[in-house]
Each structure stands twice: as structure tokens, then as C-alpha cells.
Structure 1
């Protein structure tokens, strides 16, 4: 069913309450620890997700909720809100304002609404299936690319790839750089990179090892701006996807990207 104006308003309110929890702790004193996978979690991550869950309990009690920090609450509507309170916790702990809060509405396994919110810079992308993506309320578009060479490619960190994935990524780097070392990828950025694709500043993001809370919100944002989100086989992203993710600003370059990635 179409995403309602009530759903869109709720998604924005979720971003608002998450930002209210995060901003006082940015570049300030807060507690943090390492999770079982050795990734950091901070007081801000937990406070932001808890605030969003309280709002969902009040406004959409029948919907399911999946969050990075507090797991899954099963619902009865076939809808799930997927939350990542701070995507890019390492950037947050380093005082770099390129992390973001991710909020997605997933229906029958497919992301139909997504928010990327950067609460320090007050930047927000809102994507809804079938509607143009908005950046701070204004429609944005990805940019066209005549060829693979020269595309501006980004990834959070090459250290997050497995051995075979790293080889594919390096083939992609070679293809977009045309062998010129000065035209290498942009590193760092997490979800912020996908907002930059939607706004036409980056052309391509390549990542692996992502969880549903990492990528669900990105799909409506990039695709509503005219881009394409898919896995490394070119298939659409859903709750069943394995976590290899591509965001391609110009859909005409999808086959070129896949050919370069797989050699």
C-alpha cells in the first residue's frame, strides 16, 4: 500500500527525536563500549534508538521495529520500522559530522520509505517509493555519467571487504580511475555517501557486509532521486539481501559497474 502522509510525518518526527538525543553528546562527554563484534556503541546510539522506539510505541504500536542496538520487536501489521540511530559511530566518536540516523519503513520485505538524517549539519534526505527524494524539503536528482571512467566512487573503508570482495572493489577502482592513481576513491562517510549520491555529488558507492539497518533507508532515498540501489549481482535490495550493496547514480552505468566489479 502507498506510504501515507502520516507515515512520512512520523518518519520525520523519529529523526527529530533521535537528533535531540544525539546533539548534546556530540564532541562532549559520553559513555561508550565495544560490542561483541568489536564495533563501538555509545550513550548517544542507545539514547537515540530508545527515543525513537518510545515514539513508535506511542504512534504505531502494531508495527514491528528492528533496531541496531535493541533488536527486534515483532508486530502484527506486516510493516517494520528499521532503525540505525547512528550509522557511522566511529565518525561520531571522532567528532566528524558525517554520520547519520537511518530510518526505514519496510513492507513485505521491501523498503518503501527512508530517511538519512545528519543532525549536526541539519541535513535530511527523505525518500518515499514513487515520489521524488527531498533534501531539506527540496527535490534532488542524481547526476548522469557518460562513461564508467571518471565516476566519483566512495566506500566507508576497504578494510570491511573480504578477500574476494576487496579484489572486486580494486577492479572497480581501476575502471573508474582509468589507471590514474590521483583519481582514487573517497573513503569514509557511511550513510552520508548515499545522500551525496542522491544529491548528485557522488556517482557510486560500493560496500559489503551491511545489515538491514545499514541499507534499508538508503534504497528509497537513492532511487527516488533517479539512482539505482542493488546488490553485487544487480538484484534489488530487500530484507533478504546478503549485504553487498551498490548505489549507482546513473542507472545507465549499472552493467558497466557490474562488469568491472566481477572482471
Structure 2
């Protein structure tokens, strides 16, 4: 795809993220009804639904031939070969708890995987963007290039995951093998942990049970910042499932070996 096309598509991605900010903030740290999508607690709110609707409205106007895969509404088939992957509020549990560690996820993918990824945090005003041109952080008028940290040893690494149990019992045991080797393990940041990895603040994020809309944008961001993102077998992760995101190839290789026993 020509660079000019990607620049134009990046403008659309930013417009989608911009449209998400107002509805996402409208209900944050305010009384809001919380529903659950299943028997196990899987929260969803009017903020999730209104935010995705606002994001889709931008795409309907500016990219009507593209597909859409979002968390809250039915998928739209692509007629262009491009699909937008949207998570209006990644980290709804954090959102309803008032923590500023949720985010809006916008990704554009083709058949090969994500091309552009945005992790946007409306409350802090931070936007982390990854594309073939590289990775950037912006807030207001500030802009900074992002690169992952040059950490190659697990003994020096900071590891994040969202839930301490990390999927199934076997997956949790595999995660703990890696955690036992790392300098520091922390929990609970959802997509914000991936943004911090791209920003050079942490070194590993390991998760399981993800959907495509959870990981497409973070995968594009981290790859653009120089990191490595795969599933726990070393294959593509952008369709969901297990995810291993690492700051360097060396960390990725060592963590991958431990995950597989």
C-alpha cells in the first residue's frame, strides 16, 4: 500500500479516536448502570455502546467500503480488503472502578494483519499511535517518538498482565514460570500496559483469552515501537487468544521458551 494511502488512513484512525473521547468521558466516574454479557461477570455500560456508535459513524461517512469488527455491534463485511478493529472501552472493569487505565482501541488491518494501531486514553489525554512510520505518544501539543526499552534479560524485566489467574490453570502455571524469573510483576492495566511497553516503561505483557479487538491495536503499536508480539506458540496474535508482547527479541525468546515448558 502506498505511503500516501497510509497517511490518509491514519487521519481516519485519529478521527475515529477523536470521536470516541466525548462519549467515553461522559459517564466516567459518574453513576452508570452496569450490565453483564454472560453468567460470569463481563461488564458493559452505555458508555461502551455509545462510544462504539460514535466511532462507527465516522467510518460510515469516511470509509463506507471498509469492514468493521467491534466489541459491541455486529461485524460489517469488508468490500475494500481493509477492516477496522474497534474496542470502544478496553478495560470496562477499570472504567467502572474509576481507574484511568482503560483505553479506546482503533486498528486498521488487511489480510496480513494490523497496519495502524491507536491506544487512546481520553481521561489523561494521551494517545499512543503505531504505524509503518513508527510509534508516537501525544498529549495536547506534546509529541514524542516511542521505542521499546533495550532490556534483554528476564532478570531485569518488568512484566504485566491484567488478571492474576491468566486464563486456564495450565496457562496460569505457564505465566508464573515467566513471572518467577522477572524482576517485577504487576497486574490490572488492560490496554494501558501495552502502551507502556511501547513507551519503554515496561518490558513484557503476557495474557490469554483475548479477542481480536483486544489486541489488534496494541500489536500494531508495539511492533511500530520495535517490540515483538506473538501468541504463545510464536505465531500471529492479532486474531486473539494468547499474547506475548516483548520489548526485545531476546526477552521474547526466553519468555516463549518458559511459556512452553
User: Which of 72, 75, 88 lines up with 1:72 in the alignment?
Assistant: 75
Question: Unpaired runs of 5+ in structure 1?
Answer: 178-182
**SS, match of residue 166 in structure 1:** helix
CA shift, 1:236, in A, is 2.8
After the TM superposition, which residues 1-263 of structure 1 pair with which residues of structure 2 at under 5 Å, given as runs? Answer: 1-2=1-2, 4-36=6-38, 38-128=41-131, 130-136=132-138, 137-177=143-183, 183=184, 185-239=185-239, 242-263=240-261
TM-score (norm 2): 0.94
CA distance, structure 1, for counterparts of residue 137 and residue 250 of structure 2: 23
CA distance, structure 2, for counterparts of residue 75 and residue 236 of structure 1: 21
**SS, match of residue 165 in structure 2:** helix
Is residue 166–residue 175 contact of structure 2 (8 Å, CA) maintained in 1? no
Runs of 4+ aligned structure 1 residues displaced above 6 Å come to none
Farther-moved stretch of structure 1 (135-144 vs 52-61): 135-144
- The alpha-carbon distance between structure 1 residues 199 and 77, as it changes in their structure 2 partners (threshold 3 A), is same
CA distance, structure 1, for counterparts of residue 112 and residue 92 of structure 2: 26
TM-score (norm 1): 0.93
Instruction: Judging by fraction of residues, say which structure has more strand.
Output: 2
Is residue 175–residue 260 contact of structure 1 (8 Å, CA) maintained in 2? no
- The alpha-carbon distance between structure 1 residues 55 and 146, as it changes in their structure 2 partners (threshold 3 A), is closer
CA distance, structure 2, for counterparts of residue 62 and residue 21 of structure 1: 25
1:14-71 deviation per Cα after TM superposition (whole angstroms, max 9, x unaligned): 1111111111211013232111253000111001000001111111000000110002
CA distance, structure 2, for counterparts of residue 160 and residue 67 of structure 1: 23
Number of positions where the alignment pairs a residue of Structure 1 with one of Structure 2: 254
CA RMSD, aligned part only? 1.3
CA shift, 1:109, in A, is 4.6
CA distance, structure 2, for counterparts of residue 31 and residue 53 of structure 1: 23
CA distance, structure 2, for counterparts of residue 34 and residue 133 of structure 1: 35
CA distance, structure 1, for counterparts of residue 130 and residue 171 of structure 2: 29
1:125-177 deviation per Cα after TM superposition (whole angstroms, max 9, x unaligned): 1111x221011132111111141112000000123410110110010111224
**SS, match of residue 30 in structure 2:** coil
